[in-house]
Amino acid sequence: MSKFLKIYLNITEKRESLLNSLKIRFVVIVVPITAFGIWLNGCSFGNKQGVEAEKPPEPVTLYLSSQSIISDNWDELLANPLKKKYPYITVEQVKGDVNEWIAQGKSVDLFATAHVTVGRMVQMDLTEDMTPLLKKHQMAESRFQPVVLEAIRNNANGQLVGLPYYLQFFTLYYNKDIFQTLAVPFPKDGMTWDDTVELAKKVSRTYGGTSYQGFKTDQVQRLADPFGVTVVNAATNRASVINEQYKRVFELSKQFYSIPGNMPASPKDVSNKALDQFTKDKNLAMYFAVNRFSNLANSNVNWDMAQAPYYPDKPNVGGIVDSFIIGVTKTSKHQDDAFRVIETFLSDDIQLLAARKLGVVSPLANPIMQEQYAADMNSVKDKNLKAIFKNKIIASDPYSIYRSQGMDELYDVHGKYIFGEYDTNTALRVLDEQINKKIDTIKGK
């Protein structure tokens, strides 16, 4: 072997040895780095998830001042659905008088009341316009019947201070046994008030030792509602009863009570005994009122209903929007969570449940609410339920915050009027004076 060949082979062996050494080092060094990179990436991904994942909301307890939530079905209509959708929210009802509650430094987050008495909540400075909350939580006003929202705004200085969850209806209940005993045809849909007066005369008599009365309403304002009038002007906060509408109302009521045998025992009994007469005494043939299904379910009266009577110049107008509303207080520190409570309560599922099972007329525009109305109520299966929806409801004139006090004076003066203490014009003048005096007294305080 030549000298040069030996040198070449020696160089080749060293080169291969060096390459092999480098390969080993590359595997030893690079592979662990790659594995470390994979592990590092995995850790980074995990951290990113941890940062982006929302923490469970902190538990919150909200307090509801309620005059009209359906308490017997509280769990089914509100508590259980809320727990399922928003388990961190608990709602408790304010115990006792809300003024005393607030005076103790306790919070009120939600209120539920009849919209006709929402003025009391306005007086307490608890309300504010909820329109921004609707927009924030993407609840469309088109879900509701427009006339209902219009009425709420009318009664709260143009603000949507609450959302409706329950509508009253107006109907003419009648005792079928009385009409059959006296051989008088049943009331029918589409009667005017004049028709009703004439029918009341036919069933106002003594028979078989029982004195039957023809007609009563649960309150005289029901007869005024189809005109949309209210006892106190919202713009001036002064009485608004000396007008043709209230004159017609007083005189119509006098026609009913002037029928022999229809006078109550005292001025205070003009309307407030009517429900007992219909459900317990069973001597009242016709009773004009709102939803009395719960009262009638506990009686054994053989009853049915007809469309609410109407004035000839107000055809098919049964009354005003009379809704119950739920709102978020302006003082709540949890307004978004409070709105989530309302959103749950006003869902289509819960509204339909109340309509089917409890006979609640829903304010939602969805036609299924009427189509399936009272479908699960055996006590009204054979009743003329369509009569309820033949009436139109209208938005009343705006309500003053002093409406409730004005109504108290209306009942007082009307009772005395029925007993002949005043003629119609004098009664309205006295009523006007009493309402204004009451308002001035409140303002003075």
Do the first three CATH levels of 60-167+322-388 and 171-321+402-444 match, i.e. the same topology? yes
Measured between alpha carbons, how far is 431 from 108 in angstroms, rounded to an integer? Answer: 36
Q: In CATH, what class is 171-321+402-444?
A: alpha beta
- Cβ atoms of residues 353 and 77 within 8 Å: yes
Query: 427 by DSSP, 3-state: which?
Result: helix
Q: Could you give the C-alpha distances from 381 to 218, 259, 303, 353, 373, in angstroms and in order?
A: 24, 34, 12, 16, 10
Domain coordinates in residue numbering, the chain: 60-167+322-388, 171-321+402-444
Q: Could you give the C-alpha distances from 112 to 65, 91, 445, in angstroms and in order?
A: 6, 13, 26
Q: What DSSP assignment string belongs to 49-69?
A: HHHHSPPPPPPEEEEEEESSS
Side chain identity at residue 305, one-letter code: M
pLDDT tens, N- to C-terminus, the chain (445 residues):
444 434 444 544 544 554 444 443 433 333 343 433 433 344 444 444 444 567 878 999 999 998 777 777 889 999 999 999 999 999 999 988 888 888 888 899 999 998 877 877 877 889 999 999 999 999 999 999 999 999 999 888 889 999 999 999 999 999 999 999 999 999 999 999 999 999 999 999 999 999 999 999 999 999 999 999 999 999 999 999 999 999 999 999 999 999 999 998 898 888 778 999 999 999 999 999 999 999 999 899 999 999 999 999 999 999 999 999 999 999 999 999 999 999 999 999 999 999 999 999 999 999 999 999 999 999 999 999 999 999 999 999 988 888 889 999 999 999 999 999 999 999 999 999 999 999 999 998 7
Two tokens, residue 148 = 């209902």
Residue 326, number of CB atoms within 10 A of its CB: 24
Domain 60-167+322-388 matching CATH 3.40.190.10: the answer reads yes
Crossing angle (nearest 10°) for helices 424-444 and 403-418: 150
